[in-house]
Amino acid sequence: MKRVLVIATGGTIASAEEGSGLAPALTGEQLVAFVPEVAQMCHAEVSQVMNVDSTNMRPEGWLAIADEVRRRYDDFDGFVVLHGTDTLAYTAAGLSYLVQRSPKPVVLTGSQLPMGDPGTDGKRNLLDAVRVACDDAAAGVLVAFGGKVIAGTAARKVRTRDFEAFDSLNVPDLGAVGENGVQWAAAARELMAPGAADGCATAGREGFSADGCSACEGRGGVSVPSGAAERGFAAAGPSAPRFFDTLNPRVMALKVTPGMDGCVIDALRPLCDALVVEAFGLGGIPEYAGVTDALLNWADAGKTLVMTTQCPFEGADLSVYEVGRAFCNRPGVLMGGAATTEALLAKTMWALAQAERPDGTIDREKLMALFASC
C-alpha cells in the first residue's frame, strides 16, 4: 500500500459551531477517522501544521505547508492538504511555485460543509483526494474537489455553497475522480508522456507574454510557456522536485473600477513591490484621473506591474485597444495572459523573491526570465 501524508490546516472541513460561528475545531486525526475507507486505500499519517479558517491563511502558511512536504518528501508517495475553500485556490497556486516538477502528487481538498455535518461533502472529497494521491499517474500540485481534478494554478472557487465549488479556468479539467478511481483527461496524459519537455512544456496557455502582448510577440515579446506548475503535472524528467523557500508577500491584486483615481495607486507604492492589475475586458485601463499615468509611473519607479483581466475566461491582450497599448513592451510590465489572478499573485510573489538582489533591488532581467520559465 502507498504511504500518504495528510497535512491538516483547518478550514470548513475541520470546523464546528461553538456559539460564535463556525471555526476550526477538529484535528486532522479526527478528520481522517471520519473516513475509515482511507485505511483500506493507503497507509495514512497526519501532520497538523495549523488549524485556521482559510480567511487567515497567508503566504507564510504556504511556506509552512511546502516545508512540510519537503521535510517528509522521501517518506511518502503522495500528499493530501486539507484546507478551507475560500483561499484554497491561492494556496494551490502558491504551492505550485514552491514545489515544482514533483513526480509525487500534492493534492488539495476541503469541503463546503463541516465534516461533522450529516450532509457533508468532506468525506467524499477527502476520499477522492486520497484516490488521486495514490494514483500512479498523478504528479505535481492538484486540486481534487467535487469529483474534479484541477491543475493547481487553474482552480478558482466560483460557488459559495454548491458542492462543485471549483472550476478550472482556461485549462480543461485534468480528470474526474470517484468510486472507480481517477479517469484522466487525454491532455493530462499527454503532459506526462515519455519525451515531454521537462519543467516547461512548449504548449501553453494562449496569449502569455512576459514583456508584451500576444500581438506584440513578433516584435520582441517573450512567449511564456506552460510547464508542470501551470498544468499541475510533472512532465517526464528528473525524479527530484525543486523546492523554494522564499516569497515576497508585498504583492497586491488591484481591480480597476469606473471612477478610480490614480492617487489610489500612488498610495500603494510604499506598501507594495508589485501590483497584479485586473483591467477591463481585453486590457482597458482608464485614461482619466491619472490612472494610466500612475501605473506607468509605478513601473518607471522600478516596481512591477502584472496585467490581467477581470474576465475569467480567454485572457487579456492589451495590444488591441488604445487604452491598453501603452503597457505593451514597457519595462517593468509583465503580461498575465489567461492565467488566473490567484496564480499570477502567487507567481509574482515567487518570482520577485528569486529575483531580489542582496541590496533589495529587483533584477528585472531575472524577473522576466523567471516569469517566462514556468
User: Which active-site residues does the annotation give?
Assistant: 12
CB atoms within 10 A of CB 145: 28
DSSP H or E stretch at residue 345 = helix 341-355
207, 303, 316 from 296: Cα distances, Å: 22, 10, 18
Q: Could you tell me whether strands 274-279 and 251-255 are parallel, antiparallel, or unpaired per DSSP bridges?
A: parallel
Please state the φ and ψ torsions of residue 264, each to the nearest 5 degrees: -65, -40
3-state SS, residue 183: strand
**DSSP classification of residue 290:** G
Stretch (H or E) spanning 16 = strand 15-17
Query: What is the CB neighbour count within 10 angstroms for residue 24?
Result: 22
**CA–CA dist 124, 129 (Å, integer):** 9
Give the Å distances, CA to CA, from 96 to 62, 195, 232. Answer: 10, 22, 7
Contact 87, 108 (CB under 8 A): no
Q: Cβ distance 224 to 208 under 8 Å?
A: yes
Burial class (CB in 10 A: 0-12, 13-18, 19+), 267: exposed
Q: Which residues contact 24 (CB under 8 A, 6 or more apart)?
A: 10, 11, 14, 15, 51, 52, 53
Q: How far apart are CA 120 and CA 369, in angstroms?
A: 44
And the C-alpha cell for 278? 485586473
Q: Is 234 helix (H, G, I), strand (E, B) or coil?
A: coil
Q: Among all chains, which residue has been given the C-alpha cell 475545531? A: 25
Q: Which single residue is written with the C-alpha cell 484546507?
A: 83
